[in-house]
């Protein structure tokens, strides 16, 4: 309609003005002009009153075809199709109890500990409560309800926050006093100095990753090295910012090892395609793969980045989640400094979050990135990007400082804090072992040892009939398996195809986070389903 109106109006106006300019003999030009203007007026007044020149209901202003193509390219499997199906099943269970062969949905798809029953650390929550409601700090009853060290810490933190108000904006990098505390915690952990001016407090680790992608990616010719399998945040962020993901495959046969020869091969391949590789992302401990890098391997990675001129992006959000005695966490900054590389020698960004570890405060959205090895001019640009978001939330900032400076020996809260922390981590280790053993007993399934993080990533060797059935439904075989598992058992896992994997192999990611007493039932349900599935599609 809009196009018809525009074309008719244009034609009438053109006729009027053209006739006027022609000045035909024996007829005054005004006669033709006035005649066409009259026709135009009659046409416009004949239109229905609800007709608008500015809009056309048949063509909405925004469609899937007209949105930013980078958004369409972006995918995030952890909250993808399987999770949507699970949410629909959960609603159906609530509306129609007994309508499915299970009583509850078990979300093993995402590292969200408290949603599955993990309790928060008491000291952390006491400090947060006092900071959010400081008027109770002076009340006599508070002494009996809160530990002395949580009260003291709350006073310290409030003195550092502008206006002593958790509802106020802070410096765009975060409250200076909280950054001082975090820097001191990093220094205590690593044994090397840390500068609070290098700390950028963020709403979880994810905004820090996005910020660095904004900084690094100029066009699709810029590439970021990512492990395969990888946490989908990286592929999604690279897609949103218009870059190219350059994969390096972890070696499943060696416990998801990171081989420097693989990095060299993929770097050469990327360069032959005209891609400038700008950074190397490393997730340690691994997500979804659960491996913990050996210190010598980390040294090789640092040396590789130094030699090739790459920014090292160190995702270290699972640094507290190490479950095997033969491995321990070493930050990449500590490794680089122990090799003699200083602040100016290698650009390094380390990410930490309050969502993982033993604290599991996902909903509080706290985290930080430590940025070292960049020039003052580049640092200024990072600060500018941070400033656009004003600041991260203050509760998350407080939690990040508490995570890096928990109670110490001699503090009133230390014994209860240590018991809570140790209880959570030991339970996670036991859960990981039970799930690992259960998965390895399944036909055609192999699962590497869970050295750290919160996940297992078993490989499933599916029958050809199952693969063909999945292909006929236009689904990845592991996505088909995951959907069948959900519909039969209520267990939600994420298909390996959402994380990337060696072509021709199939996996799924399963968290170790359901409460310990539920783990045997999960293994039992999974075992029963898998046996039936394999029998159904046996070649």
Read off the pLDDT of residues 11-26 as tens digits, 9 standing for 90 and up: 655 555 444 444 434 4
Among residues 414, 487, 405, 462, the alpha carbon closest in space to that of 89 is found at: 487
Judging by beta carbons within 10 Å of its beta carbon (0-12, 13-18, 19+), is residue 262 exposed, middle or buried? middle
What is the phi-psi region of residue 102: left when phi exceeds 0, alpha when psi lies from -120 to 50, beta otherwise? beta
Q: For residues 368 and 352, what is the distance between their CA atoms, to the nearest angstrom?
A: 5
Q: For residues 399 and 397, what is the distance between their CA atoms, to the nearest angstrom?
A: 5
Give the three-class secondary structure for 145: helix
Beta bridge partners of 456: 510
Q: For residues 455 and 350, what is the distance between their CA atoms, to the nearest angstrom?
A: 21
- Blockwise average pLDDT, block size 10, the chain, 539 residues: 53 51 44 54 57 59 77 66 84 82 84 87 95 88 88 93 87 93 96 96 91 92 94 88 93 90 95 95 93 94 96 96 93 96 92 93 92 93 89 94 94 95 95 94 93 94 93 91 92 89 91 91 93 90
Q: Which helix (H) or strand (E) holds 357?
A: none
- 451 near 66, Cβ under 8 Å? no
Assigned token pair, 144: 């009996």
Residue that the structure tokens 């050295």 belong to: 451
pTM: 0.83
Give tens-digit pLDDT for 447-459.
999 899 999 999 9
Assigned token pair, 161: 């926050």
- 66 near 221, Cβ under 8 Å? no
Distances from the Cα of 59 to the Cα of 6, 44, 295, angstroms: 16, 22, 58
């Amino acid at each position: 309609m809009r196009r018809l109106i525009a074309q008719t109006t244009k034609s009438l106006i053109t006729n009027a003005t053209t006739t006027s300019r022609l000045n035909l003999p024996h007829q005054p030009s005004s006669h033709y002009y006035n005649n066409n203007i009259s026709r135009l007026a009659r046409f416009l007044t004949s239109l229905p009153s609800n007709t608008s020149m500015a809009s056309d209901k048949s063509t909405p202003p925004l469609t899937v075809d007209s949105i930013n193509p980078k958004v369409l390219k972006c995918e995030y499997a952890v909250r993808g199709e399987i999770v949507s199906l699970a949410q629909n099943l959960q609603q159906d269970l609530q509306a129609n109890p007994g309508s499915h062969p299970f009583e509850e949905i078990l979300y093993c798809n995402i590292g969200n500990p408290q949603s599955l029953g993990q309790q928060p650390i008491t000291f952390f929550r006491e400090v947060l409560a006092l900071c959010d409601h400081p008027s109770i700090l002076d009340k006599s009853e508070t002494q009996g309800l809160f530990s002395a060290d949580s009260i003291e810490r709350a006073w310290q933190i409030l003195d550092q926050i502008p206006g002593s108000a958790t509802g106020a904006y802070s410096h765009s990098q975060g409250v200076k006093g909280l950054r001082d505390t975090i820097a001191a915690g990093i220094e205590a952990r690593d044994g090397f100095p840390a500068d609070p001016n290098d700390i950028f407090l963020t709403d979880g680790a994810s905004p820090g990753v996005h910020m660095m992608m904004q900084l690094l990616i100029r066009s699709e010719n810029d590439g970021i090295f990512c492990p395969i399998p990888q946490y989908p945040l990286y592929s999604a962020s690279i897609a949103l910012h218009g870059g190219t993901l350059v994969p390096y495959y972890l070696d499943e046969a060696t416990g998801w090892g990171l081989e420097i020869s693989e990095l060299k091969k993929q770097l050469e391949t990327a360069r032959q395609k005209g891609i400038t590789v700008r950074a190397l992302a490393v997730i340690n401990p691994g997500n979804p793969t659960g491996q913990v890098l050996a210190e010598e391997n980390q040294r090789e990675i640092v040396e590789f980045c130094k030699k090739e001129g790459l920014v090292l992006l160190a995702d270290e959000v699972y640094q507290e989640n190490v479950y095997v005695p033969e491995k321990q966490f070493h930050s990449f900054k500590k490794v680089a400094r122990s090799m003699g590389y200083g602040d100016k020698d290698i650009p390094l960004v380390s990410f930490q979050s309050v969502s993982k570890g033993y604290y599991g405060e996902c909903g509080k959205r706290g985290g930080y990135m430590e940025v070292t090895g960049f020039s003052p001019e580049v640092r200024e640009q990072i600060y500018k990007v941070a400033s656009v978001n004003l600041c991260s939330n203050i509760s998350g900032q407080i939690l990040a400082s508490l995570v890096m400076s928990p109670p110490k020996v001699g503090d009133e809260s230390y014994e209860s804090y240590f018991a809570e922390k140790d209880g959570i981590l030991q339970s996670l280790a036991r859960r990981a072992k039970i799930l690992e053993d259960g998965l390895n007993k399944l036909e055609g399934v192999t699962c590497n040892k869970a050295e750290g993080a919160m996940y297992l990533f078993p490989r499933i060797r599916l029958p050809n009939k199952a693969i063909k059935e999945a292909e006929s439904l236009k689904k990845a075989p592991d996505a088909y398996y995951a959907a069948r598992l959900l519909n039969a058992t209520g267990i939600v896992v994420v298909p390996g195809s959402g994380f990337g994997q060696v072509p021709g192999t199939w996996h799924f990611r399963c968290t170790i986070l359901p409460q310990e007493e539920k783990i045997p039932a999960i293994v039992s349900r999974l075992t029963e389903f898998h046996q039936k599935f394999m029998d159904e599609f046996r070649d």
